[in-house]
Chain A
């Protein structure tokens, strides 16, 4: 009965590698997000997708490419990983209607460690 799930939970990889993180939600939401939380717990939005279309793209290196195959999934692919990419990445989802648009539900996070 998980609402927002992410895989993997932990990811350890070397600099220069390419990796993907997957996110799925079963809440029937049509908007999904990726956030990055650094070692100081500072949380910042990276991307937002609504009905598979990109609507928010913060200043994120183009090594990061989100992909939304359908409304329930938003994956994050990272090319040429760097040490500074080490962080916890959270997926979230929400509705886009005028009542539920602002309530975001978060996944458990994926801790990425780049060595």
Chain B
């Protein structure tokens, strides 16, 4: 079946790195995504990784993919208050649709 799981909450200190983890079940997934949702707003595609890659870096964001364990992570370096949001992990499944995780609410403490 298709399932994407992630922890619901993460709290980090401003300036530290945030690491949000995700597991998925569909081994046929071609793309895996991280979306960001700020309060009262829609989802914004942050970054994605193709399934034949292990890592992708984009400025403060680093995505790591362990295909064997079906584990995806998002690292945000030097976390800022503007990074407070809900982060959704998602996969493009073999059924040609995007399956979203439940979202991880990232809060930043001073």
Task: Give the interface of A toward B (CB within 8 A).
Answer: 4, 40-45, 48, 55-56, 90, 92, 102-109
Give the CA-CA distance A103 to B35 in the complex, in Å.
11
| Contacts known (A48-B97, A56-B97); A43 close to B45, Cβ less than 8 A | no
State in angstroms the CA–CA spacing of A109 and B103 once bound together. Answer: 17
Once the chains are docked, how many angstroms separate the CA of A12 from the CA of B32? 35
Main secondary structure of the interface of B (DSSP, over half): strand
Closest residue to A56 on the B side, CB-wise?
B97
Count of A-B contacts with CB under 8 A?
A: 43
B interface residue numbers (CB < 8 A to A)? 30-31, 35, 37, 41-45, 48, 86, 88, 92, 96-98, 100, 102-103
The DSSP consensus for interface residues of chain A is: strand
Q: Indicate if the CB atoms of A107 and B42 lie closer than 8 Å.
A: yes
Cβ-defined contact, B42 with A90, below 8 A: yes
Give Cα A103 to B100, complex, Å: 14
